[in-house]
Amino acid sequence: MQLIFEKTVRGRRAITLDPLDVPEAKLPELVSRAKTAELPELAEIDIIRHFTNLSRRNFGVDSHFYPLGSCTMKYNPKIAEVVAALPGFGQLHPHLSTSEAYWPLCQGAFELIYETEHWLAEIAGMKETCLQPIAGAHGELAGTLLIAAYHRERGESNKDTILIPDSAHGTNPASAAIAGFKVVEVPSHDDGTMRLESIKAAMNENVAGLMMTCPNTHGLFEPAVAEIADYLHQHDALLYYDGANLNAIIGKARPGDLGFDVMHYNLHKTFATPHGMGGPGSGPVGVGERLAKYLPGPRVVKRHGAFALEMPEKSIGRLSQFFGNFGMAVRALAYMKHLGRDGLCEVAENAVLNANYIWARLKDTYTPAFDLPFMHECVFTAAPQAKNGARALDIAKALLDYGFHAPTVYFPLTVKESIMIEPTETESRETLDAFCDAMIEIAKTIESDPAALADAPKTTPVGRLDEVKAARQLNCACL
Amino acid sequence: MSWSPATAAERDEMLAVIGHKTIEDLFAAVPNAFRPKSWDLPAGISEMAVRDQLGKLAAQNASGHISFLGGGAYDHYIPAAIDALTSRGEFYTAYTPYQPECAQGTLQSIYEYQSAICRLTDMEFANASLYDGGTAVFEATTMSVRLTGRSRIVIHPSLNPIYRKMLATHTAHLQLDIVEGEDPKDAACVIVQNPSFLGAVADFSKLAEKCHAAGAMLVVSFYPISLGIVKSPGEMGADICIAEGQCMGVPLAFGGPWLGVMATRKAHVRKMPGRIAAETSDAQGRRGFVLTLQAREQHIRREKAMSNICSNEALCALRALIYMSLMGKEGFRDVARHCHAKAEYLKSKLSFVKVLNEGPTFNEFAVRLPRNAEETVTAMAKCGYLAGLPLAPLGAGAETDLLIAVTERRTRADLDAFAAALEEVTCN
Amino acid sequence: MYPENCKYTKEHEWVRAEGAVYVVGITSFAADQLGDVTYVDLPKPGKEVKQGDSAAAIESVKAASDIYAPVGGRVSEVNDALTDAPELVNQGPYDQGWFFKLEGVNAGDFDALMDAKAYTAYVEAQH
């Protein structure tokens, strides 16, 4: 498709302003732009067509089943969009929070933050939560900074190491590194879980904490999680919960009850705020008792019947300009309020049901990567198919021709030729069946004619793209 | 209350296929001892009730006031076509383009966004977005450290005080030496903001030369709308430029989601954080777009990655791209021209206060009132105005100092009435 | 399979003595594992490196790795051709695809590295 810049017609306009009703003013030449930026020149209809046609070259949850493992691509309810766009939220200037004089004009927003933080805290068994982190990885950074602040205040300057399982998301080690930690990788057991023995083997007096995902990225609940928490606490190390997979256990187990000290939530995963082609997300941080005083601030508190702002006693400071992605919190609260205490439990139930249904339908065709029962996602290895000449990537591309987004492939790194399928709770049985039928048909094709997959996908606007050419030419802008 | 399609009968049938009797069998791996110790949440409510409850909360917030609040976030007009396009499910319910063949809409829009940012800033490479303008300062800082191997960070007085606080929080354990000033000696970078937090417009070309002579990066935090008329970071010789992109079609939304903008020079692109889209082709020679230079990122490089960023603000970047397209070459300049002219007009009407800026300003300026600024904004709110940002709470001015921003949305009549009201409130 | 005139490291670099100068590159095994090389970051000539220091970096579409100095010394020359044609690493890892040359190398360190036979056994044991 042509670029929007290639469609430009000199002099064409979309939005025009009313004539300037005050005298013209001019900046000194020294600080003025020499040449007007070459932005597109198009009519509104040209722009609407361009982007509408671009959108049709995308798969999204609204149009396609999107079983991307670890990403929780559930349906995004429309009511959440409507309430987030209410003028009292959508058009509210955040500097109303900067001066106390303005606080009476943003009490509704303060209450929304307060209420959302309380819902999140109760759901995960945390003492307090804070909406400031802007994305999941930003929440991880918040959490690891809190761990660092905790040890620093206790004078434990030796505690400079974070343990991270080999199955962890790449953001975990990257976030810990920004918080100043050395990262030591801990191997998973062959059955896909983390064993206390492995933690013991990696333990020393410099370990500040461990970051875990539960269920882990193999889709398995960690049976030793409480033992691991106890062991860490005995060694004055803290346990971090990567909330990426919270959807699997919501209402069934709470990280706080399991012994986790600090965590992040992914509002764009568990709480259905849309993924927006890569973001915005939202990654609130939650803490147990001992880390509450270090939380980022300012925080909304209730004081004399009104909402006010306060800096926690030993706050690590400010992680976002105001209250993180507030608009995502509005959407998440709408989601939580609609579901309520019972509906939230059903989220996990149906998510785990759907994943296990896919496992049951595919386990005789594809090789499950692990024998333990899966939770909200199931992981297969396409190593046998790869021996026949079609890799996980080929299976992923073939699925696109059946009208399904591909599962996550080649992650987790611990499984060869991994295919990680997370259907979520909002998919119907007929969709799951159609997907499984496609997977089974693809497996048959691999047995009879593996080379047939090499050309897939054929029905998408473009076929497989030359990534090597992209990286070598590095044409990243039309200048 | 649920968004799951499954009926009770379907659940039973599916359980049978799995070989289970009850839903609880699915959670056998979660022992009873691990079950929630508390679940004190209200019952679910209908969509209608959600709308009412959240509508009531929204109604408790300021709305309908005529706003002069700025300080890094601005009340610019958002054309209707932006919501119409970005609310298409194919955009907002998609994720990171891991499968490029079914994400060309996303990838081409990122490529076009990168192109538009480069054209606006006169830089060569832009990324697909960062979280916001404040975290962009942090990312530019660590990028400069990687590029220079130095650890001294020089913060120019022009930088937003909130960005400074954020930088301190993010870098608390990175052993950096963060100092105030503009001396690039032994520095990884000098970070300036243009216009400054208090609205001053400057030319940093000479500082760029000094930085380059000293082997330091010049990082410029800019205000995208101002680039309709203000000298661009590229024209000044910046190495890295960053911005809060909220002003380009992104709602204020009490602070987010917003948009972190970052662009740089070709020589530095491999040290830039964030996703980058690039043009390429398929086997049939058809043009297509993919993510490139991914080996810099966390999912491959883990603790050695350029950044931990994963989710970004792609939908806000799309909003900014559509904004830049709708305003277009002439319109974008017009918005800047109007903002500047209207701010100058308001300045001329405020003879009863002292304007603190000595040099040129773009659309924002600081004034010293004859009265406490917080008392003033309280009184002005009663007249229907958000009169500006009192500077004392941010440590950016005295108790009488107020930062006033003017956008293209304010009419001459608004400005005349505002000036009269402010005079009434502060002088009588 | 691996040239007899080179010595090898566990990180899959090769080093070859050419008089007083030692040439360094990555093995065909490493090049195959990386896939199509898209970028090579070379050290500045004159740089002193110790054995095991990260001296260069290499990227493909899916991976990035550091290239460690197999022996200590001073970088006397780098293969600038790789900047514009990183594919040379895949096409000829032992000839046009060399990375950098070192001088002032301790011959004992060089002699202590694996020979082709030992490296072959090492690769087979690992994979």
Percent of chain B, pLDDT > 90? 95
Q: Which residue of B has its CA nearest to C62?
A: B295
If asked whether residues B199 and B336 sit together in one domain, one would say no
Segment A359-403, tens digit of pLDDT = 999 999 999 999 999 999 999 999 999 999 999 999 999 999 999
Q: Which residue of A has its CA nearest to C37?
A: A468
If asked whether residues B263 and B358 sit together in one domain, one would say no
Residues of B within 8 A of A47 (CB-CB) are: 81, 85, 322, 325-326
- Residue B123 in domain: yes
Whether residue A133 is preceded by a cis peptide bond, meaning omega within 30 degrees of 0, is no
Please compute the mean of the pLDDT values over residues C116-121 and round it to a whole number. 95
- Residue A207 in domain: yes
Of B114, B227, B338, the CB nearest to A476: B114
Can you give the CATH number for the domain in which B414 is found?
Answer: 3.90.1150.10
If asked whether residues A255 and A300 sit together in one domain, one would say yes
Q: First-to-last CA distance in chain A?
A: 17
If asked whether residues B350 and B384 sit together in one domain, one would say yes
Whether residue A384 is preceded by a cis peptide bond, meaning omega within 30 degrees of 0, is no
Segment A267-299, tens digit of pLDDT = 999 999 999 999 999 999 999 999 999 999 999
- Residue B3 in domain: no
Of B268, B295, B323, which residue sits at a domain end?
B323
Of C39, C41, C62, the CB nearest to B300: C62
Whether the CB of B295 is below 8 Å from some CB of chain C: the reply is: yes
- Residue B23 in domain: no
Whether residue A280 is preceded by a cis peptide bond, meaning omega within 30 degrees of 0, is yes
**Are A277 and B318 inside 8 Å of each other by CB?**
yes
Percent of chain C, pLDDT > 90? 88
- Residue B42 in domain: no
Q: Which residue of B has its CA nearest to C39?
A: B293
**Structural domains of chain B, count:** 2
A277-311 CB burial, b ≥16 within 10 A, e <16:
bbbbbbbbbbbbeebbbbbbbbbbeeeeeebebee
If asked whether residues B250 and B333 sit together in one domain, one would say no
Of B305, B323, B341, which residue sits at a domain end?
B323
Report long-range pairs for B76-79 (Cβ below 8 Å, ≥24 apart). Answer: B76/B225, B76/B247, B76/B248, B76/B249, B76/B335, B76/B407, B76/B408, B76/B409, B77/B407, B77/B408, B77/B409, B78/B249, B78/B250, B78/B251, B78/B323, B79/A14, B79/A15, B79/B249, B79/B322, B79/B323, B79/B326, B79/B327
Residue type for B191, please?
I
- Residue A348 in domain: no
Residue C62 CA to residue B357 CA, distance in Å, equals 51
**SS3 at position A288:** coil
Residues of C within 8 A of B271 (CB-CB) are: none
How close, in Å, is residue A188 to chain C by CA atoms?
Answer: 19
If asked whether residues A26 and A91 sit together in one domain, one would say no
Q: Which residue of B has its CA nearest to A133?
A: B131
Of A297, A313, A338, which residue sits at a domain end?
A338
- Choose, out of C39, C58, C59, the residue to mutate when testing the contact with B (most B CBs < 10 Å): C59
Whether the CB of C36 is below 8 Å from some CB of chain A: the reply is: yes
- Residue A162 in domain: yes
Segment C27-51, tens digit of pLDDT = 999 999 899 999 999 999 999 999 9
Segment A148-157, tens digit of pLDDT = 999 999 999 9
If asked whether residues B150 and B105 sit together in one domain, one would say yes
If asked whether residues A42 and A116 sit together in one domain, one would say no
**Are B296 and C60 inside 8 Å of each other by CB?**
no
Residue type for A438, please?
A
The tokens 């997979």 sit on which residue?
Answer: A245
If asked whether residues A139 and A13 sit together in one domain, one would say no
**Are A468 and C59 inside 8 Å of each other by CB?**
no
Chains that touch C (3 or more CB pairs under 8 A): A, B
Q: How many CB pairs under 8 A join A and C?
A: 13
Model confidence, pTM: 0.96
Residues of C within 8 A of A467 (CB-CB) are: 61
How close, in Å, is residue C108 to chain B by CA atoms?
Answer: 32
How close, in Å, is residue B186 to chain A by CA atoms?
Answer: 22
- Choose, out of B272, B293, B299, the residue to mutate when testing the contact with C (most C CBs < 10 Å): B293
Of A277, A309, A338, which residue sits at a domain end?
A338
Segment B10-23, tens digit of pLDDT = 999 999 999 999 99
**Are B301 and C64 inside 8 Å of each other by CB?**
yes
How close, in Å, is residue C56 to chain B by CA atoms?
Answer: 14
Asked if residue A17 has pLDDT above 80, the reply is yes
- Residue B32 in domain: no
Give the model's confidence band at B305: pLDDT under 50 very low, under 70 low, under 90 confident, else very high.
confident
Residues of B within 8 A of C39 (CB-CB) are: 270
If asked whether residues A139 and A33 sit together in one domain, one would say no
Residue B92 CA to residue A61 CA, distance in Å, equals 9
- Residue B34 in domain: no
Segment A216-259, tens digit of pLDDT = 999 999 999 999 999 999 999 999 999 999 999 999 999 999 99
How close, in Å, is residue B145 to chain C by CA atoms?
Answer: 17
Can you give the CATH number for the domain in which A109 is found?
Answer: 3.40.640.10
**Are B295 and C64 inside 8 Å of each other by CB?**
yes
Of C39, C41, C63, the CB nearest to B300: C63
Whether the CB of A471 is below 8 Å from some CB of chain C: the reply is: yes
Segment A173-223, tens digit of pLDDT = 999 999 999 999 999 999 999 999 999 999 999 999 999 999 999 999 999
Segment B336-364, tens digit of pLDDT = 999 999 999 999 999 999 999 999 999 99
How close, in Å, is residue C39 to chain B by CA atoms?
Answer: 9
If asked whether residues A51 and A86 sit together in one domain, one would say no
Residues in chain B: 428
If asked whether residues A112 and A224 sit together in one domain, one would say yes
Whether the CB of C41 is below 8 Å from some CB of chain A: the reply is: no
Segment B183-194, tens digit of pLDDT = 999 999 999 999
Whether the CB of A476 is below 8 Å from some CB of chain C: the reply is: no
If asked whether residues A89 and A223 sit together in one domain, one would say yes
Of B270, B293, B295, the CB nearest to C63: B295
Give the model's confidence band at B428: pLDDT under 50 very low, under 70 low, under 90 confident, else very high.
confident
If asked whether residues A46 and A93 sit together in one domain, one would say no
Question: Partners of B404 in the beta sheet?
Answer: B365
Mean per-residue pLDDT over chain A, rounded: 97
Whether the CB of B368 is below 8 Å from some CB of chain C: the reply is: no
How many C-beta atoms surround the C-beta of residue B162 within 10 A? 23
**Are B131 and A134 inside 8 Å of each other by CB?**
yes
**Are A467 and C61 inside 8 Å of each other by CB?**
yes
How many C-beta atoms surround the C-beta of residue B277 within 10 A? 28
- Residue B38 in domain: no
Percent of chain A, pLDDT > 90? 100
**Are B295 and C41 inside 8 Å of each other by CB?**
no
Segment A460-471, tens digit of pLDDT = 999 999 999 999
Q: What is the pLDDT, as a whole number, of residue A448?
A: 95
- Residue B152 in domain: yes
If asked whether residues B141 and B214 sit together in one domain, one would say yes
Mean per-residue pLDDT over chain C, rounded: 93
If asked whether residues B192 and B98 sit together in one domain, one would say yes
Residue (of C66, C80, C77) closest to C103 by Cα position: C77
DSSP assignment letter at B44: P
If asked whether residues A51 and A180 sit together in one domain, one would say no
Q: What is the pLDDT, as a whole number, of residue B401?
A: 98
**Are B329 and A64 inside 8 Å of each other by CB?**
no
Please compute the mean of the pLDDT values over residues A431-458 and round it to a whole number. 96
Residue (of A112, C67, C3) closest to B254 by Cα position: A112
Q: What is the pLDDT, as a whole number, of residue B306?
A: 85
Q: What is the pLDDT, as a whole number, of residue A14?
A: 98
Of B302, B323, B344, which residue sits at a domain end?
B323
If asked whether residues B167 and B242 sit together in one domain, one would say yes
Q: What is the pLDDT, as a whole number, of residue C127?
A: 67
If asked whether residues B162 and B255 sit together in one domain, one would say yes
Transcribe A217-268 into DSSP letters. Answer: TTS---TTHHHHHHHHHHTT-EEEEEGGGGGGTTTT--HHHHT--EEE--TT
Q: How many CB pairs under 8 A join A and B?
A: 721
Instruction: List CB contacts of A312: < 8 A, sequence separation 6 or more.
Output: A292, A293, A294, A295, A296, A297, A299
ipTM of the complex as predicted: 0.98
If asked whether residues B73 and B84 sit together in one domain, one would say no
Of A322, A338, A354, which residue sits at a domain end?
A338
Q: What is the pLDDT, as a whole number, of residue B298?
A: 83
Whether the CB of C81 is below 8 Å from some CB of chain B: the reply is: no
If asked whether residues A163 and A121 sit together in one domain, one would say yes
Segment C69-93, tens digit of pLDDT = 999 999 999 999 999 999 999 999 9
Whether the CB of B146 is below 8 Å from some CB of chain C: the reply is: no
**SS3 at position A109:** helix
**Are B294 and C62 inside 8 Å of each other by CB?**
yes
Which domain does A37 fall in, by range?
4-55
Q: What is the pLDDT, as a whole number, of residue B87?
A: 97
Which domain does B395 fall in, by range?
66-77+328-427
Segment A83-128, tens digit of pLDDT = 999 999 999 999 999 999 999 999 999 999 999 999 999 999 999 9
Q: What is the pLDDT, as a whole number, of residue C14?
A: 96
Whether the CB of C40 is below 8 Å from some CB of chain A: the reply is: no
Residue (of B254, B276, B245) closest to B133 by Cα position: B245
**Are A474 and B292 inside 8 Å of each other by CB?**
yes
- Strand-pair category, B217-222 with B240-244: parallel
If asked whether residues B258 and B189 sit together in one domain, one would say yes
Whether the CB of B301 is below 8 Å from some CB of chain C: the reply is: yes
If asked whether residues A15 and A121 sit together in one domain, one would say no
Residues of C within 8 A of B294 (CB-CB) are: 61-62
For B185-294, strand residue ranges (E) read 187-194, 217-222, 240-244, 260-264, 277-281, 287-291
Residues of A within 8 A of C39 (CB-CB) are: 471-472
Residues of C within 8 A of B303 (CB-CB) are: none
Sheet with C100-103, edge to edge strand ranges: C7-8, C13-18, C21-26, C100-103, C73-78, C48-49
For residue C35, which phi and psi values (nearest 5 degrees)? 80, -160
**Are A33 and B282 inside 8 Å of each other by CB?**
no
**Structural domains of chain A, count:** 2
Residues of B within 8 A of C60 (CB-CB) are: 295
If asked whether residues B358 and B242 sit together in one domain, one would say no
Residues of C within 8 A of B296 (CB-CB) are: 64
Residue A291 CA to residue A145 CA, distance in Å, equals 11
What is the CB-side half-sphere exposure of residue C63 using CA atoms within 13 A? 13
Instruction: List CB contacts of A78: < 8 A, sequence separation 6 or more.
Output: none
